[in-house]
Every structure is written in C-alpha cells, then in structure tokens.
Structure 1
Amino acid sequence: MKSLVVDDELVSRSKLKKIMESFGPCDAVEDGDQAVLTVIKALNLGEPYDVILMDLMMPVMDGHEALKRIRAIEQERRVEPGKEARVIVVSSLEDQKNVCQAFFKGLASVYVTKPVNRESVHTALRSLNLE
C-alpha cells in the first residue's frame, strides 16, 4: 500500500510516516499545495497513492482545499470510480462543521482526531479494508 502523509506539524508528520511505512512506501509533505503536486507526480508516474492521511489546518493550502483539488484531478485523469485514493482526515478539529465538510465536500473516507497512535491508524485502515 502506497501512502502520503500531509501535516504541517513535524512531530505528527514523522509519527504518521513511521506508522504508515509498516504497510509500504510512504511519502510525507507539510502542506496542501505540496500534497496536490505530489499526487499529480504520482499519477504521472502511474503510481497513485492508495491512501492519503490529511491534516485539515495547514498553512499555504488547508486540507479541505487540497482534498477538493485532488478529487478534481482524479476526475480529470478519469481515475476509475472506487480506485481513487482513500483519504483519512487526521485533525485536532472535532466540531461537526469540519467533520461534515471533510466528508461531504472533500469526499474523505475516515475522520480520525489527534492525537493519533498506531491503533487509531490501524482501525481507520481496517475500516477501509486496507490493512
């Protein structure tokens, strides 16, 4: 399973990357703009991400906007329905507005609140049938 971690906090990004590397190759970037560019590069190489762990609150481009753009790119590239990257939103935000926005506007698959640990990531992956 190829994954991408997107988080502006170095400690969180490093922790998530280490967890995800136990499942396969994992890249990590620090903002939504870098995430979009990294997803485009992976698609160009024919090596799309299976799962993206996305923080919501980041500088440059937040997770909501990045996810919206990634979904638009997948549509432009005619990624087969069901073959899109699964997205696990990882955020300290628990309010209903952000949860709803992540799912319904961004097409996120799972929402996990920080702080995350190995078990919460495994639970999210199992819910997506990716573990």
Structure 2
Amino acid sequence: MRVLIVEDDPTTAQMMKFMIRNYVEYSHAGNGQEGYDAFCTALDEKKPFDLVFLDIMMPMVDGQEMLEAIRVYEEDCGISCSEGAKVVMTTCVDDTKEIYHSLSHGVLEYLTKPVDRKKLLSIMEIVNGSPLTKQDEPYEEGVFS
C-alpha cells in the first residue's frame, strides 16, 4: 500500500511518518501544492497512492482545495470518486461545515489532531483490505519499488 501524508506542521508530519513507517510505503508533502503534484505524478506513473492523509489548514493550497483538485484530476483520468484514492482529512478543528464539505467529496474519514495511532492503523487496514504486516526495517520516505 502506498500512502501520501500532506501536512505542513513538521511535528505532526514526523509523528504520522513514525506511526506508519514499519507498515507501508509513504511519502510526505509539506503543503497542498506539493501534495497535489506528488499525487498527480504518482497517478501518471501508474503508481497511485492508495491512501492520502490530508491536513485541512495549510498555506498556498489548503486541504479542501487539494481534495477538490485531486477529484477533478482523477475524473479527467477516468477514475470515479468511489474508485479513486481514499482520503482521510486531518485537522485540529472539529468544524461541522468542514466535515460535511469533506464527506461530500468522498472522504473516507475525518481525524482530529493529535492523531490516534490505533485509529490511524485501523483506517490503513480498512483501505488495505487486510491486517497490516509489520516490516523488520522501516520503509524509507518516498522510496517506492
């Protein structure tokens, strides 16, 4: 499984990477524009991300804008919202309007920070379709086979 973490806060990003590094291949983008570029490149190279953890409040391109942009890009590639990448919004704001907007764009889950490790791994298992296998050696960030 391939995971993209789009998070501008270095501490939160590091924490999330630490939680998943022994289970899945992952990459990190520090803002919505970098995340969108990484997402599109992976899709173009036929190595799409299976799961995207997407922060809502970021500079340049925020999480909601990136979510809308990746859904448009997937649609342009002939991929329906239900067949596209699974997206989990992460935020420190528990706002009903934001939650509704996210869910209307096919978001799988909405997590408030600090992110709970058990919840994070549970979501990854749901997307994976089976229990995760812990690797002896952690994956290196952005290194995909």
Task: Give the TM-score of the pair, scaled to structure 1.
Answer: 0.90
The AA in structure 2 aligned to 1:123 is S
Indicate whether 1:96 and 2:115 are aligned.
Answer: no
How many residues are treated as equivalent by the alignment? 130
Q: Does the aligned pair in 2 maintain the 1:86–1:109 contact within 8 Å? A: yes
Deviation at 1:128, TM superposition (A): 4.2
Deviation at 1:117, TM superposition (A): 2.8
Point out which structure has higher relative CO (alpha carbons under 8 A, 6+ apart): 2
The AA in structure 2 aligned to 1:78 is G
Cα distance in 2 for partners of 1:128, 1:41 equals: 21
Indicate whether 1:67 and 2:94 are aligned.
Answer: no
Max radius of gyration: which structure?
2
Q: Which residue of 1 aligns with 2:119?
A: 120
Higher helix share: 1
Task: Give the TM-score of the pair, scaled to structure 2.
Answer: 0.82
- What RMSD in Å do the two structures reach over aligned CA positions? 1.6
What does the per-residue CA deviation read over 1:30-76, in whole Å, with 9 as the maximum and x for residues that have no partner?
Answer: 11111110011101111000000000000001000000000000010
The AA in structure 2 aligned to 1:45 is E
What does the per-residue CA deviation read over 1:18-39, in whole Å, with 9 as the maximum and x for residues that have no partner?
Answer: 2222222100011111111001
Shift in CA distance, 81/67, structure 1 to aligned 2, threshold 3 Å: closer
In structure 2, list runs of 5 or more residues that go unmatched.
Answer: 132-145
In structure 1, list runs of 5 or more residues that go unmatched.
Answer: none
